[in-house]
Structures are given as structure tokens and as C-alpha cells.
Amino acid sequence: MAQEFSGKVAIVTGGASGIGEAIARRLSAGGAKVVVADFNGDGASKVAGSLKDALAFELDVANAQAVQRLVARAADAFGGLHLAVNNAGIGGPGHATADYPIEDWRHVIDVNLHGVFYGMKYAIPAILASGGGAIVNMSSILGSVGWPGSIAYVAAKHALVGMTRTAALEYADKSLRINAVGPAFIDTPLLSGLDRATYDGLKALHPAGRLGTAEEVAALACFLLSDEASFITGSYHLVDGGYTAR
């Protein structure tokens, strides 16, 4: 059952597909006005066009000024901001730490870490001005465990959890809750290029015997955004089919 978001304005980055799209759709179904932001502007427009009271925004989250414009656009279009989901991210190439290209390190950190910081930096004042609300930052199971060949991604996702907890403490008494979600491997278009052996290998890593779905992650994210989670802040919640319980 969808949570109640009537009268709320939400931003979802990385909203053109996968987890971000599922979150945007669930928020809209609950009555929220949604700004679907994505580096893929056409994809964002397609998703926003299929929702009620939604608009698209082409966005590079690594550009602080662009994120600032996103927040201003949401507030100008819908009269405020109450909810933000910092979901946009990239995986980066696979290299051992000593071989990891500096340019790729910077790009992954810019998108996955700096982009979330910018999202909070500019969304927080707008949410406070609207009377409070909630933020969900999308981490990963790799916010708590390692993965060979992904030093930049793992570093960003670990740091994201620390940023979430710190910001949550700063605004806990100001009607603003901030939490992180850590999905395991989720069956989204990002995995569509995998061969069957690799796909089955990923499934086998999860005690549940399958990959997660975008809708399962969206269900948790939207619960954390809702008033039903009114006493939950500064937390990091896994959606991992038992992956990290081993």
C-alpha cells in the first residue's frame, strides 16, 4: 500500500529508470508532486510525463550550481519542497586500488558523494522553509562491506552513510529526518548487459536466492519518507536479501 504524500513536493535524482523511477512512481501514487531529475533528460521527461503533477529536470548531480537550480525549480513550480531522494549514482570501472585511474576516481566521487552532499546542502534549507520533511540518500550494501575492484564506489557509499548520520543529528530537532538505504544487487536495466553466468553468480550471493526489485527498494525508501517513519532518523537500512547477514 502506498504511503500518503498528498500536499508534498518531492525531488528524486536518478529518476529516469530503475530504483529512482520506482520511487518517483510510488511518491506520485501517494499524491506527491514530483520533480524527476536525471542526467538522461529524455528519460526524465518520459517518466515525468507519465505521472500526475510532475516535471522533469535534466541534471548532472556533480554540478553544484545545477543542483541548486533543481531545488529552486521544484520550489518555484510547486510552492515548496518537503522530500528529497538523492539516488543518482554511477558504478565506475573495475580496477584494483593501485591501478584505479585518477580521473575515474574523481568522477565516481563527484557523482556518488559530492552529488549527495550538494543534494542535501540545497534541499535542506528549502525543506526547512516548507515546515520540515525527510531526505533519503541512496547508499548500497557497499556502504558497509567491500568489493574488490570498486575502491571509489565503496569509498563513496561508506562516506555517504557517515554524511547521512551527521546531517540527521544536525536537523533532528528541526522536523527534518535524514536516512540512508543500502540495496544489494537489484534487477534494473543497469544489469541488462550481463551474461547469464554472471547474472546467476550475482543471484547466488544473496541468501534469498534472487536479486531484489526496484519496487522493493522504493517501498522502503518511501516508508522512510512518510510520516509513518516519524521517529526514524540517522539510520542506514539494508535491502539485501540477506547478503550482509552472512
Residue 123 host element (H or E): helix 115-129
Residue 21 host element (H or E): helix 18-29
pLDDT, one tens digit per residue, over 63-103 is: 999 999 999 999 999 999 999 999 999 999 999 999 999 99
Q: What's the pTM value of the predicted model, to 2 decimals?
A: 0.96
Answer yes or no: 153 catalytic.
yes
Classify residue 157 by burial, with Cβ atoms within 10 Å: 0-12, 13-18, 19+: buried
At 3, the pLDDT band (50, 70, 90 cuts) reads: confident
pLDDT for res 193: 78
pLDDT for res 188: 85
pLDDT, one tens digit per residue, over 148-207 is: 999 999 999 999 999 999 999 999 999 999 999 999 999 987 787 788 999 999 999 999
- DSSP, res 114: I
At 2, the pLDDT band (50, 70, 90 cuts) reads: low
pLDDT, one tens digit per residue, over 16-35 is: 999 999 999 999 999 999 99
Q: What's the CA gap between 148 and 103, in Å, rounded?
A: 19
pLDDT, one tens digit per residue, over 100-142 is: 999 999 999 999 999 999 999 999 999 999 999 999 999 999 9
Q: Has residue 1 got a pLDDT over 60?
A: no
Residue 176 host element (H or E): strand 176-183
| List 153, 199, 236, 243, catalytic entry | 153
Largest Cα span, the chain: 51
Task: Quote the Cα angle for 195-43-122, to 5°.
Answer: 110
pLDDT for res 65: 98
Structural domains in the chain, sorted by start: 9-237 (3.40.50.720)
At 246, the pLDDT band (50, 70, 90 cuts) reads: confident
Mean pLDDT of the chain: 96
